[in-house]
A = this chain, B = another copy of it.
């Protein structure tokens, strides 16, 4: 009996039929990321049912020196949950652990397993007249554990912060199989290093998140959504400041998109209509919300904002969604940019941030620089202007051959964009994480001090290097 088959037998004994499989038909769907960019291989897939089982499995893997690739909804953007091609790792799926352990509606906290799906959490919160203030396109598959491990963002970060800001307590299994438990919902706790912060955003390289205590907020009692056309992204930035000043805490979202993105969506969605009659170079989608304790005449605030912005020529035109249906239609335009751009042809997508006050100038500078350096390609930026985070996509020239272009010119484009972002003091991953997609670029561009600190911490907590190898931490 080889060591490998011995490990597989032990894993099967430990987790049972439901908890461990090597059946290629069952395992294979989870060996490719949802965008089909990365495909790996695995010894098998573990689906433990409890934190105890995760811990026992991790101990077993440690003894046999088997690598572990934790996986939630498999809807990450950077290949962080896909094993490498060696086939030496197991995929550790958290999806079976999908229990809400406790909800405290009075204190507005919820404690849930890592495998709980975001949309299910939203629905549960709504039943208690509460809400969980983070959402994103993949909410139907993304799990709480995955959202924590990637410190996910979304469209509500402007007001409520990233996933990090939602986590009050955490439970995780560490590389030595010990269970780290800080689930108690303490609002203040200064007993040393805040270890959970190290795990948030570490993409499974330091520990497997098994549960979390999260904050909830009172449900929304009303929202007003409006759309504005703008002459430039510089004006969009001024308009954002204008909205922040006038709407304060009511401002929940502020997204921008260029004319090209809007047109791509209109071409892509048969029933979609442009919110405004005339085409503007830029568009802003803005959402104001209120709750019971923060009632306000949102339509009136919106009208005042728009009237004064028109008067100051910050915007060219604007319209307020007349109904919830229309508000949803506005948001659908925003949420469809990525698939619409993908339908046009190959593109290199960059999830970047620079200091908020520099983002407009960055886009105005970087777009022509990229297009001059790579003729016939087209650069577009859209997204979370209020967070200093845009999705900077570079569309392939019409002559490009999909599949080839990405690994040749595409790669050069990404390096060029990342160089620019670094020059501007920005980040090559604002919200999507590093995974395997950006790990080499991180190695090329990161501050050597930060890199050496990351490696020291990794070495200290996972000396055998078994937790999600090849992800996040560039090889030394």
A187 touches B (CB below 8 Å): yes
A323 touches B (CB below 8 Å): no
CB distance from A302 to the nearest CB of B (A): 14
CB distance from A221 to the nearest CB of B (A): 11
Residues of chain B within 8 A (CB-CB) of A179 are 449
**Stretch of A89-97, A137-145, A264-272, A451-459 lying at the B interface:** A451-459
Contact A190 B430 (CB under 8 A): yes
A29 touches B (CB below 8 Å): no
CB distance from A133 to the nearest CB of B (A): 13
Assembly CA distance A450 to B293 (angstroms): 38
Residues of chain B within 8 A (CB-CB) of A202 are 192-193
A211 touches B (CB below 8 Å): no
CB distance from A397 to the nearest CB of B (A): 30
Contact A291 B248 (CB under 8 A): yes
Name the contact of A388 in the complex, choosing from B151, B162, B186 (C-beta under 8 A): B186
Contact B449 A192 (CB under 8 A): no
Residues of chain B within 8 A (CB-CB) of A174 are 449, 453
**Least CB separation from A238: chain B residue:** B106
A426 touches B (CB below 8 Å): yes
Assembly CA distance A248 to B294 (angstroms): 6
**Residue among A191, A200, A357 with the highest chain B CB neighbour number at 10 A:** A191
**Least CB separation from A165: chain B residue:** B165
Residues of chain B within 8 A (CB-CB) of A447 are 180-181
Assembly CA distance A472 to B190 (angstroms): 10
A363 touches B (CB below 8 Å): no
How many chain A residues touch B (Cβ–Cβ < 8 Å)? 80
Assembly CA distance A206 to B194 (angstroms): 12
**Least CB separation from A179: chain B residue:** B449
Contact A245 B107 (CB under 8 A): no
Q: Known: A194-B200, A197-B197. Is A188-B449 also a contact (CB below 8 A)?
A: no
A135 touches B (CB below 8 Å): no
Assembly CA distance A186 to B151 (angstroms): 14
Contact B292 A245 (CB under 8 A): yes
Contact A249 B178 (CB under 8 A): no
Contact B187 A157 (CB under 8 A): yes
**Least CB separation from A251: chain B residue:** B293
Contact A180 B453 (CB under 8 A): yes
A-B contact pairs, 20 of them (CB 8 A): A153-B190, A178-B452, A179-B449, A180-B453, A184-B426, A186-B353, A186-B354, A186-B425, A186-B427, A188-B353, A188-B384, A188-B389, A190-B427, A190-B432, A192-B434, A192-B454, A194-B197, A247-B293, A248-B292, A249-B249
Residues of chain A at the chain B interface (Cβ within 8 Å): 104, 106-107, 150-151, 153, 157, 162, 164, 174, 178-182, 184-195, 197-198, 200-202, 206, 218, 241, 244-250, 291-294, 353-357, 384, 387-389, 425-434, 442, 446-447, 449-450, 452-454, 456-457, 459-461, 472-473
Q: Which 3 A-B pairs rank lowest in CB-CB distance, beginning with the nearest? A: A248-B293, A197-B197, A460-B460
Other 14 A-B pairs with CB < 8 A, given A194-B197, A249-B249: A106-B357, A180-B447, A188-B427, A190-B431, A191-B434, A192-B450, A192-B454, A193-B201, A193-B202, A193-B206, A193-B453, A195-B453, A248-B293, A248-B294
